[in-house]
Structure formats: C-alpha cells, structure tokens
Amino acid sequence: MSAFALRDIAKAHGAQAVLKGVTIEAAEGEFIALVGPSGCGKSTLLRIAAGLDRPDAGTVSMSGRDVTAVPAAGRDVAMVFQSYALYPHLTAGQNIAVPLAMRELSGAQRMPLLGPLVPGGRARRADIARRVAATAASLRIDGLLDRKPGQMSGGQRQRVALARAMVRQPGAFLMDEPLSNLDANLRVHARGEIVELHRRAGVPTLYVTHDQAEALSMADRVAVMIGGTLLQIGTPQAIYDDPAHVEVARFVGNPRINLLPGRLAADGAAVLAPAAPQEAGPGSVTLGIRPEALGLRACGPEVAAAAVSRLEFLGSEVLVFVRLAGSGEEAVAKMSPAAAAGLRPGCPVALAPAPGAALAFAADGARLPAPAPARIAAGAGR
Amino acid sequence: MSAPALSAGRALRLAALSAAALVTVAPYLWMVSVASKPRDEIFSSSLRLLPHRWALLDNLREAFHRVPIGTLLINGAVVCGAILVIQVAVAIPCAYAMAKLRFGAARLMMGLVLLGLLVPIHATALPLYVAFRRLDLVNTYTGLVAPFSVSVFGIFLFLQFFRALPDDLLDAARLDGMSEAGIVARVVVPNSWPAVTAFAIFSVVAHWNDLFWPLIVVTDNRVATPPLGLFAFRAAESGSDYGALMAATLVITLPLVLAFLFAQRRFVEGITMTGLK
C-alpha cells in the first residue's frame, strides 16, 4: 500500500489545462522529487496534494484513505514553502509550536492567558514546549527560539520552517522549492541536511524543485513533469541514463544533452548527419548524446565535421563548445583537461561519440529502442 | 540625521510650510486665547492674542457649571468606542474574504463597496431617521452607533492591506490546522496592526467630531455627544458667553489633541499608508 498517492490528477485554470492526468504514488518513507521547468504544473500538483487546491478530476489518498475532499487543515501533511511562510508576529519557538497547539490543545486551552488554567492545559503545554525544544535541537536552532523571523537570516528561517513541518510526525512532507531562496553554498549544504532529516523521520516526501541537480542528488525517485504531463518517473540514474522522452533528456543534466539531427541506417545504426538535415523522412531521428559521451577527435584533414567555438575551464574538467559545420548547431563535450589540451578555438574537430552512448528519439519526442553505436555519416561532411 | 546647512531653497520651503502651519493652527490658538479672556476683553475692539487678565479658570468653571461636560465626554467615548469596535469586527472578516477567498460574488461585492464609498451619510440620513423613529431608536446610543457599523472605508482600507499579505502565510496556517476564522484571528489581525491603528484614528476622529448625525437623531442631552452638547449650549445661551463656550470646546478637543501628541508617529504612518495625503 502506498503511503500517499495522486491518481489521474487533472486541473485546469479557465481554458488552460495545467495538469493532464498525473499519477504519482509514493511508498512508505520514499523521497520523490518532482522536477520540471517553471509553469509545468508541479506547484499546482503539490497544492492539490496539500489540500490547498481541489483537482478537477482524480483522487488523492493517504495511507489508503481517500482524502480528495478533505481540506488542508484535515489532512495529515506538513509543508515547507519557498518563502518559508513563517508567522512574522511570532517568535521562532512559537512558530514551531503552532501546528502542535492547533491540533493538540482545545480551544479553551489555546486562550492566551486563561489557557494554562484550563484542566490539562498546563501539562499539554509543557509537553509541546519539550517537543519544540527537541526539534529545534535536532536542527541546531535552539539558540534562535526567541527571535522573530525578521531578525533571522534566510538559512535560519529555512531551518525554522523545516522544524515547524517536522515537529509533529505528519503523514507526508510536501516541500515547495525550500532551497531556492538560499545562496549557492548554503543550498548544497542544506540538500544533504534535508536528505538526512528525511532519512531519520522516515516520512514520505514530495519535493518540488526546478533544479534538476537538486532532484537527482536528493531523491529516491525523480518525477519529471513538463507541460502538465508526467513524462517519466524513476530513479535518478534511470532518468539520466535512460530518458523516456526527448524533453526529459533535454531537462535533466548539466550541461544540457546534445540533441543532433540524425537518421537510422538500414542496419539499425544511428547516423549523425552533420550536414543540414534532409527532409524529415521515416528514418530521421533526433540523437541525444550526453556531453561526457561526446568525444572529440582533433582531426586530420579527412573529416572536419565541426569547429571548436570556445572552451570553458571548470577545474576538474573542460567544456568544449563546437559548432557543427553543416547545420550550424552547437554541441558541447565534457572532457578532462588533459584530453582538451590540444584544442583551441577555431580548431577543426570530428565528433566521436562513445559507442552506445547515443539515445534516439522519434519526431514526436518518444524514445526509440537503443540504436547501434553512432557513427558519423560518411561523405556527408564538407 | 545630520542637519544640512540652511540653504536658500530650504529656508524658503521652511518659511512656506511654517506659514501654512500657522494658518492651520490659528483658529485653534484663537480658541485657546478666547477661552483665557474675561468677557469684556473678548468683545474689546483691539486684537490681542494674550489676555490682560487671565480668566481661563473662571471660564472653565463656568463651562463645567453650565454644560454637562463629563456626560458629554463619556457619551463621546462610548459612542466612538462602540462604533470603532463594531466597524473593525465587521470590516476585517469582510475585507479578508474579499481579498483572499475566491467566491462568485466577489466582483459584485467590490462594486458595492466602491458604490458605498461614493454615497455620503447626508444622502441616507433622512430615510435612516424615519426608520429609526419607527424602531424607537431616536435618543439612544444604538441610534448614534448603528448607521456607522459597516464602514466601507474600513473595508476598503483593510482590503488593500490584506492583499499585500502573502498567500503562502495563509496556506501555511491552513496546513497547520487553522480554520478561516482562526486565520483571521491568529494570523491576519496580529499582522495588521498598522492598518487597524490607521483606521482607528480616522474613525475616532470622524465620529468624535461628528455633529451632523447626532444633531438629527438626538435631542436629549443625556445621550448627546460632545459637539452636539456644545451646539446646544451655544444655541441656548444665545452666544454671549464666548469665553465659557471656548473653554468647553477646549476641554472637549483635548482628548484628541492629547491622543495625537502621544501617537503622533503612528498617526503620520497611518495617513501615509492610506495614501490619502
């Protein structure tokens, strides 16, 4: 039984379909990253999972219970917002205590001054204070509990928001780009921390991000959404190595995958066509080759399929941008500094994809069966 | 803030502002002056700001003797307080719903609010009076308070303020288990003190100084508000004892002046926020 499941979720804003039947099921304790470009509907899907929006069609269930019609307050989920959404008038400690106070104190016990006098109120409040302190300690923000959100840095606010979500053991965590307001250094550090917290809490998590690196590095499974459709869901490795759709291949990986015109030869081999593509015949495909699989041969005189346009030195590796002679398209190869040593801008090179590295996609974007190793079309060069 | 050198332009601006301020404050100063003068000096032909003989205490004594100033002040406080509490209690949920909840009649309600802003009390005074007579509400606190219980101005002001509250904050509150009423009480109101303060200032000033409606609905001195009490006093005494009248006026304006001096900064913030000045 899945811990929580979104089935065939559809949602339209006016005439525009935002979600076109999306299904995601999370197993107990699973971390799923929902990734896609902005406007792909991932935040809408998260809001539907939270109960903040109603789907036009489809069902939301948690631990086998259908909660599609249950509003947010009645669902057992906790959410971390991109803006953190801390209550500005409350201190960090009070912020973290709110979800507990709302769920575990009666109306009378919540009253500002009389609350502690109501039977049971004092004991419950002490219990809440203890759990707030424990959660704060686990996130190392115990020194900040008396500060208001306005007096904290972005990283501290993010931790308080995490603590507010974690303090009660919810049925699911929903996170809406919780790291995108942090600076780059802090973001990489916080990634590891969230994964660690998730591992300790063991609560299924749906994590929305537009950053494919974040998704690949944190999640058990990555769901790639583009244009309101879930194109693929799978392990980070499967998403990267075996994309089901050309848009998935394009979105995942940095630098971006090279998508070059090609065709399938009669023997089933994929052939890179460095010249401008002929009319899109039945054999024409798009070939995707990851930058690290696109070798370059500093060429002799025979084939000058491309010319180096610029190099980017990144320390452990070098990005070599080349312009294809025929179509004028740009491709990028990632290689070690040693391999790139002889390359200079303007230098003619030949493309030498690693055997079996090319992924073939049909004109509609669907993935085609693995082609035979790519080769450069003979005689199609200059 | 370091004081910049007094350049010609700055001096000119200061002079112009001072002149305008003097013109504005002159009637109030004149009132204080008259309140301090004995009767013969008030009607003397020479124009003097400071009296020869100080008679402020005599005038005050006379005023307290002839006008039930204590009753007037209490009435003013009760009426203004009731109006403010009811207006805020009605306007905040209303503005919250219009600013943050999606419902079918939202546009219609917005139109009605704008329409309400355009209709002055003077247009509705007569039908209200007729209705209140039928309901036997003339000469009651209810009659003084009821017409102002819904403040479209308040709704409009809070609406503008609430629109700026982040939606995420409200969504977070929903996920934390709050009802919509709980959100208003626990999240919206605590974060809206600047708007509430600004509105309170406008409301109290307007209704403390209001003469029009009390004049219509109240004839009994026991429920008269301060301006009405003064008005009755002036009419009854055929306006000869200006010293006492001005002394009474001084006492009655004093609460607002003191409140202003205490809350000057908030006052200015409030006016700036509403963009009225």
pLDDT digits (tens, 9 = 90+) for A269-302: 677 765 544 555 667 888 899 999 988 887 655 4
Of B63, B92, B110, the last residue of a domain is B63
pLDDT at B186 over 70: yes
User: Do both A171 and A22 map to the same domain?
Assistant: yes
B102 part of contact set with chain A, CB < 8 Å: no
- Position with higher pLDDT, A92 vs A356: A92
- Which residue, among B175, B178, B183, would best test binding to A if mutated, counting the most A CBs under 10 Å from its CB? B175
- Give the CB-side neighbour count of residue A155, counting CA atoms within 13 A: 13
- Do A235 and A338 lie in one domain? The reply is no
Smallest Cα–Cα separation from B172: which of A378, A340, A72, A61? A72
Query: A45 falls in which pLDDT band (50, 70, 90)?
Result: very high
Within 13 Å of residue B81, how many CA atoms lie on the same side as its CB? 6
Residue A307's DSSP bridge partners are A323, A348
Residues B118 and B227 in one domain: yes
Q: What is the distance between the terminal CA atoms of chain B, rounded to a whole angstrom?
A: 24
Pair (B188, B173) in one structural domain: yes
- Is B249 domain-assigned? no
Out of B166, B179, B191, the one facing A85 most closely (by C-beta) is: B166
> Per residue in A322-362, pLDDT tens?
988 777 788 999 999 988 888 888 888 888 888 778 888 88
Same structural domain, A235 and A289: no
Angle, helices A154-166/A121-138, rounded to nearest 10 degrees: 130
pLDDT band at residue B277 under the 50/70/90 scheme: very low
Predicted confidence (pLDDT) per residue in B199-212, tens digit: 998 899 899 999 99
Considering the domain architecture, whether residues A264 and A344 belong to the same structural domain is answered as yes
For residues A362 and A285, the answer to whether their CB atoms sit within 8 Å is yes
* Containing structural domain, residue B177: 69-236
Residue B258 lies in a domain: no
**ipTM of the complex as predicted:** 0.82
Residue A33 near residue A219 (C-beta atoms within 8 A): yes
How far is residue A271's CA from residue A284's CA, in Å, rounded to a whole number?
A: 9
Given this model, what pLDDT does residue A382 score? 35
If asked whether residues A175 and A319 sit together in one domain, one would say no
Same domain membership, residue B142 and residue B39: no
Give the DSSP H or E segment for A269.
strand A269-272
CA B7 to chain centre: 39
B222/B116 same-domain check: yes
How large is the average pLDDT for residues A88-117? Answer: 82
Question: What CATH number is associated with residue A76?
Answer: 3.40.50.300
For residue A301, the enclosing domain spans: 258-376
Measure CB to CB from residue A77 to each of B169, B175, B187 and give the nearest one: B175
Half-sphere exposure of A65 (CA within 13 A, CB side): 9
On chain A, the residues whose CB falls within 8 A of the CB of B189 are: none
- Scanning B151-210 for CB atoms below 8 A from A yields 166, 168-169, 171-179, 182, 187, 190-191
The number of domains in chain B is 2
Say if the Cβ atoms of B176 and A98 lie within 8 Å.
yes
Kindly state whether residues A181 and A287 are assigned to the same domain: no
Angle between helices A42-50 and B167-175 (to 10 degrees): 40
Please give the backbone phi and psi of residue A132, each rounded to the nearest 5 degrees, phi first. Answer: -60, -45
Query: How many angstroms away from the CA of B30 is the closest CA of chain A?
Result: 46
Same domain, B53 and B152: no
Tokens of A140: 């190392």
Task: Indicate the number of domains in chain A.
Answer: 2
Distance, CA of B195 to CA of B187 (rounded, Å)? 14
Residue A248 lies inside a defined structural domain of this protein:
no
Both tokens of A227, joined, read 């244009």
Quick one: closest CA in B to A51, which residue? B175
User: Per-residue pLDDT averaged across B205-231, rounded?
Assistant: 90
